[in-house]
Amino acid sequence: MLVLTRKVGESLLIGDEVEVTLVEVRGDSVKLGIQAPRSVGVWRKELVQEVARENLQATRGDVPTQVLRWLGRSPDRPSEKK
């Protein structure tokens, strides 16, 4: 891994389209500004990994008719019974 030192206000260029600016340092957190083309996703890593896991699992699921009926709010959805 490449490790570089930057001061507040200084930037890094990744390729010629992605720019990362060090905005603020406070305690053990740093605030980063990121400029990137729309085709480049910028994500908090731990969150996007969780989303990816959920998506991958969802593609393996199947949708039985019982679930459909309930989602359709038919009378046999218990919470709809008054």
Partner 1 sequence: MRKIDTVRFGTLEVEKESLLHFPQGIPGFFHLKEWFLVGEDDNPIKWLQSVGNGAVALPVALPRSVCPEYKARIAEEDLEDLGDEGEICSFVVVNIPSGAPWKSTVNLRAPIVINHRTRRGRQVISLNEEYSMRAPLFSEEEREVLVAQVAPGEDLGVAEEK
Chain residues binding partner 1 by CB under 8 A are: 38-41, 43-44, 47-64, 66-68, 70-73, 76-79
What's the angle, vertex CA 64, arms to CA 61 and CA 69, rounded to 5?
130
CB of 30 to partner 1, least distance (A): 18
| DSSP category for residue 45 | H
Question: What 3-state class would DSSP assign to 38?
Answer: coil
Shortest distance, CB of residue 15 to partner 1, whole angstroms? 16
* For partner 1, the closer CB: 7 or 44: 44
Show the tokens assigned to 59.
């593609």
DSSP type of residue 64: -
* Nearer of residues 5 and 23 to partner 1, judged by Cβ: 23
